[in-house]
Structure 1
Amino acid sequence: MLTDTGLSPETFEVPHRHRSPTDWKAWLLLTVLLVCWSSGFIGMRFAVGHAPVSLILLWRNLIAGLVLLPFALLTGPRLTLQVLVVQSIIGLFAMAGYMLGFAYAIDEGVPTGLVALIADMLPLAIVLISIPLLGQVIARGEWLGMAIAVLGVLMVSAGALHAGDAPIWAYVLPILGMLSLAFVTVSQKRWPASVLPIHQTLCIQSLVSAALFLLICWRGGRIAPPLESGFWIGVLWLIVLATFAGYGLYYFSLARLSPARVSSVLYLSPPVTMIWARAMFGEPLSLAMGLGMAVTLAGIVIVSRYQGEAHSGV
């Protein structure tokens, strides 16, 4: 369910102690988390109107990484060469590859809500990739959930194709971005352990991603950011709301509430994104797309529940 910066929960140390805040405080926390979690797609949709995608991603990651750099160097465990190499590889797939797929899809006109919905299919992709890489056995219920989810995506995509004007090939881009994150999430189970605090992980992966986007921008002939305010509003939106607030609140919530409760709220991100994009940008929204989204989310919930049962029995 990690939609924006493309990071795996296994990359971080998350406290296992869960406090129980009063119910209204818990729902307020989860509501703010949902808004920040959905904001990454909206921020990118806003920013692409002011600069090329690669330039947006360069400055987003560069600024975020530089802000976190002093904290990463002064607090937390010592950063060894092995940890830096492993985190750099993870960052290229989980952050850079993930961002490129979704950002370019939005830039080509794929509805933002559909992009968020494909991001929500990460649990399904992890299950499928785990079959050849880890030899994981898939239960019938998981296959049923995946089939339902894919059917829902096809329903939403059909509605988007009918209402939108994005080229057909652009609908493949968010799938490739999601698969990039899923692949590295599963693959790192075989790599040396490199669990770091969130600020160190985000710093390393942001700076590595910025280096890749710097190369892309340099080859494209433009590195300097535009001076217009719209560009900087979009970049700061992505840094503050999507990266720092989104992931900060995500792990803050996991430390105080059950993972199941946090994940169940984040499943609302695609419809929130779709409604938000409709209100801000007039993106297509039809009854068929809404029904397809509901079908997909139902399938994802089924898969996630089976995965939760499997983990609880270990």
Structure 2
Amino acid sequence: MNLLLSVAFVLCWSSGFVGAKLGTEDAGAVTILMWRFLPLAAVLAVAALALGRASWRGLTARDLGRQALIGLLSQSGYLLTVYWAIQLGVSSGTTALIDGTQPLVAGALAGPLLRQYVSGRQWLGLCLGLAGVALVTTADAGANSGVAWWTYLVPFAGMLSLVAATFLEQRSRTQVTPAVSMTVHCVTSALVFTGAALATGSAAPPSTSSFWIAIGWLVTLSTFGGYGLYWLVLRRSGVTKVNTLMFLMAPVTAVWGAAMFDEPFTPQTAAGLAVSLGAVAVVHSASPRAPQAHGHHPDEDQDEPGDGRRSPTRVTCRS
């Protein structure tokens, strides 16, 4: 089951880069993101009302505020930078490469922030994964030499935004169902992008059918598929392993591009895909080990007994 979820996550998440390329051919980043999230948020809000108060019972205003912040970082901040970078001329492969450095950042921070043990074998897999992603995207980055250097900082900022959201969620002590978190995240993004589109005069969608095909693609595959599976795999497998799967995004995006846009799929692309697959295998075969640190969690608050909040969970990387 974990293998199937991982495969589905990689395919759906990488489809977002393809959907961004489809959408930015007809409209700007803010317009696409507004129409991606506005109808989605409306549907999820209606569904939340239909489900009643059971899923929301026990959640405080602080819990909902934390979920809104997670959504702001993991959806609004991350997606805006990815779409904007592609709109500025950074290729989808290079954007995926920069996004693929996330596991190294998350792995470096997992110990001090989450008390997760990251073994030497896992670090080897992380470094192999970065090498595989670099193989796929090096030639593509060279072909985009006309793009201003600072544009490559845009997807890097988005990667950091997603890392921050991941750790914020992992340090939360309140269990929130996926349906509730998805609703809060999408409503937050809808408000952010609708406000930005109205403020910049870019709310009107283009009349082309390809734009709405891209929106349907992004809602179905990227949001429900990629984004939903990200949090599911994160809870089942831990932050290091789920972020290691990010190494597969660049080579898989290259496969998407070759199939849909006739982009070249070179032997270097195939080699990078093979190395990235090997990196994931190395990390997932690493021996489990218990966390090394104990004591007071830095994010612990002095909650009153019996307030319904669970104690902080120390997540351990397990293979």
Task: Give the TM-score, by structure 2 length.
Answer: 0.73
* Amino acid across the alignment from 2:268: A
Aligned residues: 286
- Structure 1 pair 296–35 and aligned structure 2 pair: CA distance change class (3 A): closer
List gaps (5 residues or longer) in structure 2: 291-315
Please give the alpha-carbon distance, in whole angstroms, between the structure 2 residues aligned to 1:91 and 1:254: 15
Shift of 1:47: 0.6
Tell me if structure 1 keeps the 8 A contact 2:9–2:226.
yes
Give 3-state SS (helix, strand or coil) of 1:51's partner. coil
Show the counterpart of 1:9.
Answer: none
What residue number does 1:41 align with?
A: 17
In the alignment, the residues of structure 2 paired with residue 305 and residue 178 of structure 1 have an alpha-carbon distance, to the nearest angstrom, of 26
For each residue in 1:7-46, what CA deviation from the matched residue of structure 2 results, as whole angstroms up to 9, or x when unmatched? Answer: xxxxxxxxxxx79xxxxxx97x887665434322211110
Whether the 8 Å contact between 1:124 and 1:146 is mirrored in structure 2 is yes
The answer to whether residue 163 in structure 2 is matched with residue 182 in structure 1 is yes
- d(CA) in 1 for partners of 2:95 and 2:285? 23
Q: Aligned pair in 2 of structure 1 residues 230, 142: CA closer, same or farther (>3 Å)? A: same
Give percent identity, aligned residues only.
34
Inter-CA distance 133–94: structure 2 relative to 1 (3 Å threshold): same
Q: Would you tell me which structure has more helix in proportion to its own residues? A: 1
Q: Deviations over 1:230-287 (max 9, x none)?
A: 22111111112222244567789999xx859x96988655433212212322335433
Amino acid at match of 2:188: V
1:217 aligns with 2:207: no
Q: 1:294 aligns with which of 266, 270, 274?
A: 274
Alpha carbons of structure 1 residues 184 and 252: separation in structure 2 relative to 1, 3 Å? closer
Q: Say which is worse superposed, 275-284 or 128-137, in terms of deviation.
A: 128-137
Structure 1, unaligned runs of 5 or more: 1-17, 20-25
Pick the structure with greater CA Rg.
2
Residue 195 of structure 1: how far off its partner (Å): 2.5
By how many angstroms is 1:94 displaced? Answer: 1.2
Alpha-carbon separation, structure 1, partners of 2:233 and 2:167: 24
Match of 2:126 among 128, 131, 146: 146
Q: Residue 274 of structure 1: which of 250, 254, 263 is its match?
A: 254
**Aligned partners of 1:249 and 1:134: how far apart in 2?**
21
Pair 295,59 (structure 1): closer, same or farther in 2 beyond 3 Å: same
Aligned to 1:195, what secondary structure does the other structure show? coil
Partner of 1:15: none
| One-letter identity of the residue aligned with 1:180 | S
- What is the Cα deviation at residue 225 of structure 1? 1.9
- State the alpha-carbon separation in 2 of the partners of residues 48 and 64 from structure 1: 19
